[in-house]
Structures are given as C-alpha cells and as structure tokens.
C-alpha cells in the first residue's frame, strides 16, 4: 500500500502514454519488499516520499524543491544546480534527498 495518497498523480497514469508515475510506484513497491536483500544507501521509503512531494507540489501549484546553489564549469557555460526539499518533516525519506540538473550550454556555443 502506498505511503501517501496521490489522486492527482494517479490521473497521469490514466492516459494513453507510459507514465513516470507508474514507474515510480513500481520502484517504491520493489524497494519496500526488497526481495533481493539490496543494501540501499538511501532511505527505503525515498521513492514513496518523492511521490508525496510531487503530489503536494501539484496540489499547491508550486514546487517544494528549493534551490541549493550552483556549481559552474569555467569556460564551458554549463554547470550543476543542486536542490533540496522544503518539507523534510513531512517526507523523511527525502529529507536529505538532492536532485541535480545539468545546465547545458546554449546551442552553437562553440561556433
């Protein structure tokens, strides 16, 4: 059973295309059972709480991931933007979960 109710995310599973929500739910179930005895290096309920944060973002109409700083690559124009969750008390599994986005340089940067 899911840790968080996700009625808004459930709607994304009803369309004709494959849904990332279905994949996340499947992974959450696999991690909860852990039949292969994998030693996860992050909390087991990380994926469940990731779904919870996403549902809350859809409900509130704003993101619950906050900016964590920028690491640039000198002379390249790209970098990494770190983020963190602003609801650690509600979602313990992603309390120390960080996402990273690679900021690629604009097209024709080197021409």
- In whole angstroms, what is the distance from residue 108 CA to residue 111 CA? 5
Q: Using 50, 70 and 90 to split pLDDT, how confident is the model at 15?
A: confident
Residues for the chain: how many in total?
A: 111
For residue 95, what pLDDT is reported?
Answer: 82
Q: What is the pLDDT of residue 84?
A: 82
pTM, whole model, 2 decimals?
0.76
Q: CB–CB of 50/68 below 8 Å?
A: no
> Per mean pLDDT, which range of 6-15, 22-31, 36-45, 100-109 is the poorest?
100-109
**CA 44, CA 63: separation in Å to the nearest integer?**
23
In the block, tokens 């039949």 appear at 35
């Amino acid at each position: 059973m899911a840790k968080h109710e996700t009625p808004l995310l459930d709607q994304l599973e009803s369309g004709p295309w494959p849904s990332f929500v279905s994949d996340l739910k499947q992974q959450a179930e696999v991690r909860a059972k852990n039949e292969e005895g994998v030693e996860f290096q992050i909390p087991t309920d990380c994926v469940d709480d990731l779904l919870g944060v996403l549902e809350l973002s859809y409900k509130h109409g704003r993101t619950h991931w906050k900016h964590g700083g920028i690491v640039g690559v000198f002379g390249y124009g790209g970098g990494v933007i770190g983020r963190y969750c602003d609801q650690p008390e509600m979602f313990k599994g992603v309390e120390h979960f960080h996402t990273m986005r690679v900021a690629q340089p604009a097209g024709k940067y080197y021409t």
